[in-house]
Structure 1
Amino acid sequence: MPSRSSARLAALTVAAVCSAASAVVVASPAHADSVRIHDIQGTTRISPYAGKQVTDVTGIVTGVRTYGSSRGFWIQDPNPDADPATSEGVFVFTSSVPKVAVGDAVTVSGTISEYVPGGTSSGNQALTEIVRPTVAVVSSGNAVPAATVVDARSVPAAYAPAGDPAANNSVNALTLRPGTYALDYYESLEGMNVQVADVRVVGATDPYTELWVTVKPWENRNRRGGTVYGSYDAQNTGRLQIQSLGAVADFPAANVGDKLTGTTAGPLDYNQFGGYTVVANRIGTLKSAGVERETTRKQKNGELAVATYNVENLDPSDATFAAHAAAIVNNLQSPDVVSLEEIQDDNGATNDGTVTAGLTAAKLIDAIVAAGGPRYDWRSIDPANNTDGGEPGGNIRQVFLFNPERVSFTDRAGGDATTAAGVTEVRGKAALTVSPGRIDPANAAWKSSRKPLVGEFVFRGRTVFVIANHFNSKGGDQGLTAQYQPVVRSSETQRHEQATLVNAFVKDILDTQKNAAVIALGDINDFEFSGTTKLLEGDGELWSAVKSLPRSERYSYVYQGNSQVLDQILISPSIRRGCDFEYDSVHVNSEFNDQISDHDPQVLRFRP
Structure 2
Amino acid sequence: MTSRSSLPGSAAVAAVAAAALAGGLLVSSASASPAAASAAETRIHDIQGTTRISPLVGQQVTDVSGIVTGVRTYGSKGFWFQDPEADADAATSEGIFVFTGSAPTVAVGDAVKVSGTVGEYIPGGAASGNQSLTQIAKPAVTVVSSGNPLPAPVTVSAKSVPSAYASEGDPAAGGSINALPLKPRAYALDYYESLEGSNIRIGSSRVVGATDPYAELWVTVKPRENDNRRGGAVYGSYTAQNTGRLQIQQLAPISQQPFPKANVGDVLSGTTEGPLDFNQFGGYTLTARTLGTVTDRGLERESTRPQRRGELAVATYNVENLDPSDPQDKFDALASAVVENLASPDILALEEIQDDNGAKNDGTVSAEETLKKFTTAIAAAGGPSYVWRTIDPVNNQDGGEPGGNIRQVFLYNPERVSFTERGAGDATTATGVVREKGRAALTHSPGRIDPANAAWENSRKPLAGEFAFRGRTVFVIANHFGSKGGDEGLPSHHQPPVRKSEVKRLEQAQSVNAFVKDILKAQRDADVLVLGDINDFEFSATTKALTADGALYPAIKALPRSERYSYVFQGNSQVLDQILTSPSIGKFSYDSVHINAEFAEQNSDHDPQVIRFRP
Give TM class, smaller chain: over 0.9
Report the AA paired with residue 243 of structure 1. Answer: Q
Report the AA paired with residue 275 of structure 1. Answer: G
> Structure 2: how far apart are the matches of 1:558 and 1:224?
12
Question: 1:247: how far off?
Answer: 3.6
Counterpart of 2:175 in structure 1 is: 169
Counterpart of 1:39 in structure 2 is: 46
Question: 1:29: how far off?
Answer: 2.4
Q: Indicate which of 133, 136, 148 corresponds to 1:130.
A: 136
For 2:585, what is the secondary structure of its paired residue? Answer: helix
Q: Is the 2:27–2:58 Cα contact (8 Å) retained in structure 1?
A: no
Counterpart of 2:594 in structure 1 is: 587
> Structure 1: how far apart are the matches of 2:568 and 2:510?
27
> Structure 1: how far apart are the matches of 2:552 and 2:441?
18
Question: 1:408: how far off?
Answer: 0.5
Q: Is the 2:37–2:56 Cα contact (8 Å) retained in structure 1?
A: no
Report the AA paired with residue 605 of structure 1. Answer: R
Q: Indicate which of 267, 275, 294 corresponds to 2:283.
A: 275
For 1:603, what is the secondary structure of its paired residue? Answer: strand
User: Deviation per CA, 1:287-343, whole angstroms, max 9, x where unpaired?
Assistant: 011010000000011000000000000010112100000000000000000000000
Report the AA paired with residue 165 of structure 2. Answer: Y
Counterpart of 1:83 in structure 2 is: 89
Report the AA paired with residue 275 of structure 2. Answer: P
> Structure 1: how far apart are the matches of 2:601 and 2:38?
51
Q: Indicate which of 44, 47, 56 corresponds to 1:49.
A: 56
248-257 or 550-559: bigger deviation: 248-257
Report the AA paired with residue 375 of structure 1. Answer: S
> Structure 2: how far apart are the matches of 1:175 and 1:408?
64
User: Deviation per CA, 1:335-359, whole angstroms, max 9, x where unpaired?
Assistant: 0000000000000000000000000
Counterpart of 1:12 in structure 2 is: none
Report the AA paired with residue 465 of structure 1. Answer: F
Counterpart of 1:466 in structure 2 is: 476
Counterpart of 2:106 in structure 1 is: 100
The total of aligned residue pairs comes to 584
Where does 1:51-450 land on structure 2 (aligned, <5 Å)?
Answer: 51-68=58-75, 70-248=76-254, 249-319=257-327, 320-450=330-460
Q: Is the 1:339–1:400 Cα contact (8 Å) retained in structure 2?
A: yes
Counterpart of 2:573 in structure 1 is: 563
Question: 1:412: how far off?
Answer: 1.2
Question: 1:22: how far off?
Answer: 4.6
Question: 1:30: how far off?
Answer: 3.7
> Structure 1: how far apart are the matches of 2:595 and 2:26?
39
> Structure 2: how far apart are the matches of 1:299 and 1:27?
66
Identity %, equivalent residues: 71
> Structure 1: how far apart are the matches of 2:63 and 2:420?
77
Q: Determine whether 1:493 maps to 2:503.
A: yes
For 1:82, what is the secondary structure of its paired residue? Answer: coil
Question: 1:286: how far off?
Answer: 0.7
Counterpart of 1:505 in structure 2 is: 515
Q: Is the 2:27–2:57 Cα contact (8 Å) retained in structure 1?
A: no
Report the AA paired with residue 45 of structure 1. Answer: R
Counterpart of 2:614 in structure 1 is: 607
For 2:204, what is the secondary structure of its paired residue? Answer: strand
RMSD: 0.9
Report the AA paired with residue 393 of structure 1. Answer: G
Q: Indicate which of 462, 481, 489 corresponds to 1:479.
A: 489
Q: Is the 1:590–1:599 Cα contact (8 Å) retained in structure 2?
A: yes
> Structure 2: how far apart are the matches of 1:601 and 1:272?
29
Report the AA paired with residue 422 of structure 1. Answer: G
User: Deviation per CA, 1:498-533, whole angstroms, max 9, x where unpaired?
Assistant: 000000000000000000000000000000000100
Question: 1:33: how far off?
Answer: 2.9
Report the AA paired with residue 296 of structure 2. Answer: S
> Structure 2: how far apart are the matches of 1:585 and 1:171?
37
Q: Is the 1:26–1:50 Cα contact (8 Å) retained in structure 2?
A: no
Counterpart of 2:33 in structure 1 is: 28
Report the AA paired with residue 202 of structure 1. Answer: V
For 1:361, what is the secondary structure of its paired residue? Answer: helix
Q: Is the 1:388–1:448 Cα contact (8 Å) retained in structure 2?
A: yes
Question: 1:589: how far off?
Answer: 0.1
For 1:186, what is the secondary structure of its paired residue? Answer: helix
> Structure 2: how far apart are the matches of 1:245 and 1:33?
33
Q: Is the 1:22–1:117 Cα contact (8 Å) retained in structure 2?
A: no
Report the AA paired with residue 99 of structure 1. Answer: T
Report the AA paired with residue 63 of structure 2. Answer: D
Question: 1:466: how far off?
Answer: 0.2
Report the AA paired with residue 276 of structure 2. Answer: L
> Structure 1: how far apart are the matches of 2:439 and 2:512?
20
For 1:504, what is the secondary structure of its paired residue? Answer: helix
> Structure 2: how far apart are the matches of 1:52 and 1:432?
68
Counterpart of 1:7 in structure 2 is: none
Q: Is the 2:448–2:464 Cα contact (8 Å) retained in structure 1?
A: yes
Counterpart of 1:451 in structure 2 is: 461
Structure 2: segments with no counterpart, 5+ residues: 1-24
* TM-score, with structure 2 as normaliser: 0.94
Where does 1:531-570 land on structure 2 (aligned, <5 Å)?
Answer: 531-570=541-580
> Structure 2: how far apart are the matches of 1:22 and 1:407?
58
> Structure 2: how far apart are the matches of 1:198 and 1:73?
26
Q: Determine whether 1:519 maps to 2:494.
A: no
Structure 1: segments with no counterpart, 5+ residues: 1-20
Report the AA paired with residue 170 of structure 1. Answer: S
> Structure 1: how far apart are the matches of 2:276 and 2:92?
14
> Structure 2: how far apart are the matches of 1:370 and 1:200?
38
> Structure 1: how far apart are the matches of 2:305 and 2:508?
33
Counterpart of 1:16 in structure 2 is: none
Q: Is the 1:542–1:572 Cα contact (8 Å) retained in structure 2?
A: yes
Question: 1:27: how far off?
Answer: 2.0
Q: Is the 2:251–2:288 Cα contact (8 Å) retained in structure 1?
A: yes
Question: 1:414: how far off?
Answer: 4.1
* TM-score, with structure 1 as normaliser: 0.95
> Structure 1: how far apart are the matches of 2:438 and 2:446?
21
Question: 1:115: how far off?
Answer: 0.1
Q: Is the 2:44–2:96 Cα contact (8 Å) retained in structure 1?
A: yes
Q: Is the 1:22–1:118 Cα contact (8 Å) retained in structure 2?
A: no
Report the AA paired with residue 187 of structure 1. Answer: E
Question: 1:497: how far off?
Answer: 0.2
For 2:584, what is the secondary structure of its paired residue? Answer: helix
For 1:318, what is the secondary structure of its paired residue? Answer: coil
Question: 1:31: how far off?
Answer: 1.8
For 1:252, what is the secondary structure of its paired residue? Answer: coil
> Structure 2: how far apart are the matches of 1:23 and 1:100?
27
Q: Is the 2:462–2:480 Cα contact (8 Å) retained in structure 1?
A: yes
Report the AA paired with residue 307 of structure 1. Answer: A
Q: Is the 2:74–2:253 Cα contact (8 Å) retained in structure 1?
A: no
Question: 1:32: how far off?
Answer: 4.3
> Structure 2: how far apart are the matches of 1:32 and 1:533?
53
